[in-house]
Structure 1
Amino acid sequence: MDAIVIAGGIPLPEEPLYPYTQGHPKAMLDLAGKPMIQWVLDALSEATTIENVVITGLTEKSGVTCKKTLYFIPNQGKMLDNIRAGAKKVMEINKQAEHVLIVSSDIPTIKGEMVDWIVNAAMETDEDVYYNVISREVMEKRFPGSKRTYTHLEGMDVCGGDMNMARASLVAGEVGLWEQITNARKSPLKQAALIGFDTLFLLLLRRLTLEKAVEKVTKRLKITGRGILCPYAEVGMDIDKPHQLEMLRADMAKAMRRKTKTAAKLTTVRSTYSVKEPAAKKPQKKAATKAVETKAKKTIE
């Protein structure tokens, strides 16, 4: 599986994160001593299901790295244009590519095993689009007070994940309605209205299940798809607002301190219980040789 990392977002002066970015890409925001996107690339490096990684929106000058083969594509402007350019690059470097993993650069707490879970869960069926959602319960337990945008479905509230999969040829093509839905991604009501007023009505009544919502979307777009209830809050914990940035900075700093403390304890334990090997005995070769020489001398005399 090849991955596209979307990193083209540059907050405008009127947007909440501008005081932090000052005209630079959001992907390069510092978190725990690294650019935000580097944490995402580290997770992709750890994932066993990923082969190539394409970054759209940055250049080699950014200095970010990945253990997987890495490609850069300049910023194409709109998010969907960046995704489309990334998909075209994947199809260029991997002629056998059927699907691509689309990853946002602003979910820095993801890990390699989460990437593998999403890829493996999606590949259980052959669809055009796989969309991950996280329940309010899972999100609030891991990131209380994160203030995510939730869609109210029958029986549960969910927020969208920022790591999803799609058929490469579909993403690389021209999809007008898909672009409108992508642009309205932060407003479930706007998305529902684009799909149809019956969907909007059912959504307002909270009578729309996840399966039914996916069915209506895919039917409207004339594609196949599957919604996946993801158990990892980190997949949906993106950074759009200052309080979310500060929350993740604190969360990651705490994790780093915990990791350092654990490493220090392990070093202490190893030092305490290490057993020194006894010094090897010196060979008695010279002494034995001398005794033989003395005996030989007496015999001669």
Structure 2
Amino acid sequence: MSADDARPNQQPPWTAIILAGQRPEGDPMAAYCNVKYKALIPIAGQTMLERVARALIGSPHIGRIVVMAQSPEHLKAGLSPDLAEHEGIAFVESNDGIATSIHGVIGSDIAPWPVLVTTADNALLTGEILDCFFQGHNGQDVAVGVVERQTMLAAYPDARRTWLKFRGGAYSGANLFALHNEAAKPAVAFWSAIEKDRKKGWKIFAHFGPWLLLRALSRTIGFKDAMTQAGERMKLQAEPIILPIAEAAIDVDKPSDLELVTDILTLRCK
């Protein structure tokens, strides 16, 4: 199947933004692994950034990759030559705010629409996960990849994740965000305002008024309906994309994550 055949309605290929920055004071996982930049933590023979970049390069949905970091040249120097000099990968300097950095490039010549945002610590990303995500995208202005808790526990019963709990299920993020067009920009601006609370679902929904917050806290609303209502407040269409692959929601935030990801990748290589 060609890249054009894989894209519905011949829409333009997606620009993938890989967020590869870290906190100004440094990252605990980088310190734990004795490397300067978290994105360059090696796992089973490749850095996390390399693994994410290779998964994206291999996807027929992706036409361009933008690596965003405070020190992009240092990350570029830490990659294998085929990636560092790849014509489809650009390295762009970001500031200390994730959302403001994204907002500054989406829809521009650097990152033309549509845009997929992911992270350098999404080391288990595969073409299969990307296919599932894009198959679930039906033109929503904003879509967020998630994994339901039962999917995770069936595969990794001891995995510890952050769960957003709603009627009908609990969900963990997959670090995949679709920004389809100009209508998505208010969502990115909103994310900038609540970035520090990104893992506290109730604080996020509190910004959309007491009624939606109450329904989220009491679990009397499903995740899809909650996102739909939040999107309507911003005059855009927003939905979750529920992925059936547990590994999609496993990133590297702590040593136990690193151990689990290392085990999974080691088994893949056998």
Tell me how large the CA RMSD over aligned residues is: 2.5
Flag the 1:20–1:75 CA change in 2: closer, same or farther, 3 A.
farther
Q: 1:22 to 1:217 in 2, by over 3 A?
A: farther
SS in 1 for 2:55: helix
1:221 aligned to which of 231, 234, 250? 234
Are 2:45 and 1:30 equivalent residues in the alignment? Answer: no
Residues 37/23 of structure 1: CA separation in 2 closer, same or farther (3 Å cut): closer
Segments of structure 1 that go 5 or more residues without pairing to the other structure are: 259-301
2:211 maps to a residue whose letter is D
Structure 1-normalised TM-score?
0.75
Pairwise CA distance, 1:112: 1.3
* Match of residue 88 from structure 2: 69
Summarize the alignment of residues 101-250 of structure 1 with structure 2, pairs less than 5 Å apart. 101-122=116-137, 124=138, 126-170=139-183, 176-250=189-263
> Aligned AA for 1:230?
L
Q: Between Structure 1 and Structure 2, how many residues are aligned?
A: 250
Distance between the aligned counterparts of 1:111 and 1:80, measured in 2?
Answer: 24
Pairwise mapping of residues 75-90 of structure 1 onto structure 2 (< 5 A)?
A: 75-87=94-106
Question: More displaced, 129-138 or 78-87?
Answer: 78-87
Which TM-score applies when normalising by structure 2?
Answer: 0.82
| 3-state secondary structure, aligned to 1:115 | helix
Structure 1 residues 54 and 175: alpha-carbon distance in aligned structure 2, compared to 1, 3 A threshold: closer
Deviation at 1:21, TM superposition (A): 5.0
Match of 1:6 in 2: 19
1:44 aligns with 2:56: yes
C-alpha spacing 1:11/1:159, structure 2 compared with 1 (3 Å): farther
3-state SS in 2 of match to 1:3: strand
Asked whether 1:254 is paired with 2:254, we answer no
What residue number does 2:6 align with? Answer: none
Q: Which residue of 2 aligns with 1:92?
A: 109
Name the SS of the counterpart of 1:92 in structure 2. Answer: coil
Q: Secondary structure at the match of 2:106?
A: helix
What secondary structure, in the 3-state scheme, does the structure 2 residue paired with 1:161 have?
strand
In structure 2, what is the Cα distance between the partners aligned to 1:38 and 1:71?
14
Greater relative contact order structure (CA < 8 Å, 6+ sep)? 2
Distance change (3 Å), C-alpha of 1:20 and 1:199: same
SS at match of 1:107: coil
Of the structure 1 ranges 23-32 and 51-60, higher mean CA displacement relative to structure 2 is found in: 23-32
**Structure 2 counterpart SS, 1:195:** coil
Cα distance in 1, alignment partners of residues 212 and 52 from structure 2: 34
